[in-house]
C-alpha cells in the first residue's frame, strides 16, 4: 500500500515521486511533495462559518451576502436558508441544493442557522 497521496486533479492513486515533486502518470499533473503534506494538515481543520462556528454534514445555514452565480443571471439572496448541506474539500467547501439546483458555496458567506 502506497503512502503517497492521490493526484489532486484526477484522484488516481498511482502517483510516484521524482525528486521533490510528485507525478501522476494518468493525467501528467506534477505537484510539490511539501505542498501535498501541507494540504493534508489543512484537511484536519474543521470547516467553519463566517462566525467561526464549526459546520457538519446536514446542518442548515443562512446566506449572509447576495451571491451572483457565475455563468448565470441567478443571484442567491441574503437571508436564504439552505438545509442539509454537505461538506467537501476545496475552495468551495459546501455543496447544497437551493430551489432544486445544486450549488457549491464558500463557508465564509454562510452562518449556521
Residue 37: all three cell numbers together = 503534506
pLDDT confidence of residue 21: 87
What would the mean pLDDT of 6-24 be, rounded to a whole number? 84
Residue 107: all three cell numbers together = 463557508
Give, for 110, the enclosing helix (H) or strand (E).
Answer: strand 110-112
Does pTM top 0.75 for this prediction? no
All domains of the chain, ordered by start, with CATH?
A: 1-44 (2.20.25.10), 61-112 (2.30.30.40)
CA-to-CA dists, residue 87 to 4, 43, 72, angstroms: 24, 12, 24
pLDDT confidence of residue 35: 66
Q: Encode pLDDT of 24-82 as tens digits.
A: 888 888 888 776 665 555 556 789 999 999 999 999 999 999 999 999 999 999 999 99
What would the mean pLDDT of 82-99 be, rounded to a whole number? 91
The answer on pLDDT for 19 being more than 90 is: no
pLDDT confidence of residue 39: 58
DSSP state of 36: H
Amino acid at each position: 500500500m502506497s503512502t503517497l497521496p492521490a493526484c489532486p486533479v484526477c484522484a488516481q492513486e498511482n502517483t510516484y515521486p521524482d525528486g521533490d515533486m510528485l507525478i501522476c502518470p494518468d493525467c501528467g499533473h506534477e505537484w510539490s511533495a511539501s505542498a501535498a503534506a501541507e494540504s493534508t494538515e489543512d484537511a484536519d481543520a474543521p470547516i467553519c462559518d463566517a462566525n467561526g462556528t464549526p459546520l457538519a454534514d446536514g446542518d442548515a445555514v443562512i446566506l449572509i451576502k447576495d451571491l451572483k452565480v457565475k455563468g448565470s443571471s441567478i443571484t442567491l439572496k441574503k437571508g436564504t436558508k439552505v438545509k442539509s448541506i454537505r461538506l467537501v474539500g476545496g475552495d468551495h467547501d459546501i455543496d447544497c441544493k437551493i430551489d432544486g439546483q445544486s450549488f457549491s458555496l464558500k463557508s465564509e458567506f454562510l452562518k449556521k442557522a
